[in-house]
Structures are given as structure tokens and as C-alpha cells.
Structure 1
């Protein structure tokens, strides 16, 4: 055990994990960190244990880019089981209401446009939102009635992938804070029935997608050392959806010490709410541009 601690490495980058079913996000991070002997690790956006799919795991300096990835657009593929409402709005909860009404394909497709754009969504009672300092799911598990206020969320697109008599599979592209369980519940209500999520897969988070995702099994199968390290994506891959500004050596030195710099040249931006700067392909810092001046928020030590 003492020996394992001494082997922790200061490695940086991303493991774009396809999280398996019935594993918590914290357990997934711990497993990846152990397999890579990483000194530091964290994740960009929790996935429920019963969900599968993209869990971006940040190693070392990549943890400084977690907020940018976490705020990115998400893509989910999920199944709605028709006719049953549950206490948790997914398959884990107890059935609390039933209906014999089963919508047909045309009805489902007709109602989906109502859920595109900025909509008001009431989060599930079993969620991590805090109520008077307590997590809503803790209050709900204790038997308290939890009524959370509706909040605006952004839905970019939603489509019906497959339809059956008792369930349908849909895909949604949405912004931060969207609860797929609440979406399934509300779609069912709009169709005059009940529904809950029976399966959930996150197919994309920010710049990461299923295309580059790897499994725990693939990490375990790779030989420890260079072979396993080749599965780590660079720190910059988490920032690819933001504007990049390439600096010269003098500018890079100033930013490395946390100083603001004036951007020069014909194409230099005057204002950017969020961006990142690089030198010779390495991430130097994330920050903003105001009046032609880059102001670093987080400086990376790569």
C-alpha cells in the first residue's frame, strides 16, 4: 500500500471514459486514477450509476479545464417506459402511478417540438440540488415531500429514434442543467400518460463523444506504461470548442506568470468572453479578452 502511494505520477490529460452501468462517477474516477497511477484526477459532469456513456476524466492539469467541458453541450440517448411514473423518474424508483395510455409514433413525434428551445423544467425530487443546505435526494429518501422550482434549460434538438408499444428511444442535445429524467416525465405528461427513463446513455459532452470513448476493460487490457498512456488525450482536447489564441515566446512567458497581455496583429480579437492561449501546441491558460487584452483566469503548468 505504501509502495503504491510512492508510484503516483504527475500526468496530465483526459480519459474519455465510456462509464459502465452500475458504477458511480466517483468509482470510475478512482479506477482510472489507480490504473494510471495518477496523482490527481476528477470528472467533468456526474453520471448516475444506472447511466452509461461519456464521463470525461481529467488528469493533473486537465482538472483546470473541467468547468469548460462541464458547461459544454450534452447529447443523451434514452428510453422512456410508457405507462408508469416512478418516485425517481427512472427505473430505480418505486412505481407511484400508472396509466393504460400508450402513445403511438405520430403522437410522440408531434409533441417533441414543444420541448425544443429554452423551456422551464422542474428537476426531479431525487436530484443533487440543495434545499436549505440539504441535497434534495437526501430529503426525498427521508420521506419528505420535495417540490423544486422550475428552472430554464436549453434543448437544442430532440428526436425519436425507435418506437414500440411500451417504450420509445429518443436522442436529445441539450445544455447544462437539463435533467433527462424530468424531460421523459414531462413528455409523457404532455401525451396524457406517465413515463420514466428505463435506460440512459450520454453520447457526448462538449468536445468529447462516443467516437473516442474507451472502456475500463480497454484500459485494463493495455500494458501499464507507454501503451496505457497512449490512451490519454491531451489537455487541449478539452478546450477545442473555445477560441484558441497562439502566443509568441514573450507573451507566453508573461501569461505563465499570470500576467495579462496585449494581443497584437491584424487578426487579434478585441473581446472574447472565454478562450484559451497556447504556445507551441501547449495550453498556457484559459481566460477572457477585454479591449484587446488577454486576462488569464487559470494558468496551466505543462
Structure 2
């Protein structure tokens, strides 16, 4: 029969988990606020006295600490729940554990695997199956000003660290030494491409939808807007307009195979078009001011000559 203190401890840890998760949600809201602010006005970080980046760093540290606390409390609660198992099951566990230290370690490792939620196990299995395939990968840090996405090849998936090792096959063309570069990235930085041999099973992005797509002739991915879908075009290609891809004052429409187009990640950071337009406008005004100043000086010279 379980004792009252065991039940009380489980309830207390359950409340503590709820509190930790609530705090994590509050931190996430604050992080999203700062991200939104920086996306709309990236120049604010250059202003004296602005603390946006330091606030963001502190929030990430707080989120990490809360996450680690949640893991600790979760493990304690799991141990408490194990203690509530019927005595017959407990004896069975003890008999299995009554070997050498290695057997006990193996048993613990096995129990950890069974506690991984099915959705996470399925996701890990899917990433492990990507070995040898090309994927889209964000190779820039979380605090980078802009996200850089490249087409890379999956070398290995580490189930322990949940990291994907990838190879940038084109990096040797530009970097000194000519060596290809590898990265170890978290699963969140990897986006699998649609299966090119089975377009019927892929998600179709409708006209007007923002996507991430491989720019023609490169291995880099950029934000683009769907103009026409493969189904409408009766082909295997999207018709896209890439952001900032201006030619003669207009955005050209470019074709990209469906298997090189993925959903635009939430919070994607790319050069702010409004800021570029503002800078262009300022440059135009400066040119106009210089022309007017030059005209004024010319008129003054004419007046001087006439007076003399």
C-alpha cells in the first residue's frame, strides 16, 4: 500500500511542473516580442543604450534553466510513480537489476528509451532515415541577424544528442583550401525536402503563400512568394518571386522544382525590405539635395560675375 507522503510528493512535483511550464510560456512570449521588434526595426540595436540583445540573451538563459529544472522534476516524479507499482512488478525489476553494475546501467538506459514519447521516437526515426539525402539546413546561430539556409547532405544522425551531421558539398568551391565543410545541427535546423519521385504526397503551397526555396543555379534557400503551383502549371515546378530579387524595378518570376521548396520556418530572419527601401529613399533625397546645392552655387557664381 502506498504511503500518503508518496502521493503528496507526486502532487507537489506535478504542481511544480505546471509552474515551470507556465514560466517557460511567459519567457517565450517575451522572446517573440523582441524578435518581432528586431525584425521590424533591425537598426534599433545600433542605437546607444538599446538593450534588446542583452535582454534576449538573458531570456534564453532563463529558458534553458527552466527547461533543465523541468527535466529534473520530471525524473523525480517518474521515480515516485515507479515506487507506486505493485510489489510483484517491483520484485521483477529488482531481480533484473541484481546483476553486476553493467546490467543495472543497461536496464536504466532501456527504461529511458521507453519513456520517450511516441511522437518524438517517430521524428527521430524519420531523421535517422535521411542519411545520404539532401536537406535544407540553417547553418547560422540562433542569435544571428539573418538566417542562412543551404542545401546539404545528411551524413549521420546522433540519437543521443539528437544532432544531425551534414556536409556542405559546395563549400570547397569558395573557401580557401577547397575542403568541404561539415556541421552538427539540432533537428530544428533541418528541413527535409519533398520526395521528388512522389509529388502526390507532398504539401502544395497555394499562390500568395510565403515559402523557402532554392534559388535557381545556387545551393542557397531564400524566402519567396508562390505565384503559381505545379498543379496549375501542369508541371513539376513552382513559379516564384524571390524577396529582394529585383531587376529593372520589378521582381522576376522564376521556376523552381517542387522538391526544392519547403514551408517558411516561423520567425525566419531575412534582410528587411522596408529598411532597404528607406535607405534607398534617403540616398535619393541626398542626391537631390546635392544637385540643389550645386545649382545654388552655380547661381551664386553668376551673380558674382554680373556684380563685378
Normalising to structure 1: TM-score of the pair? 0.23
Higher strand fraction (1 or 2): 1
Q: Higher relative CO (CA 8 A, sep ≥ 6), structure 1 or 2?
A: 1
Normalising to structure 2: TM-score of the pair? 0.23
Max Rg structure: 2
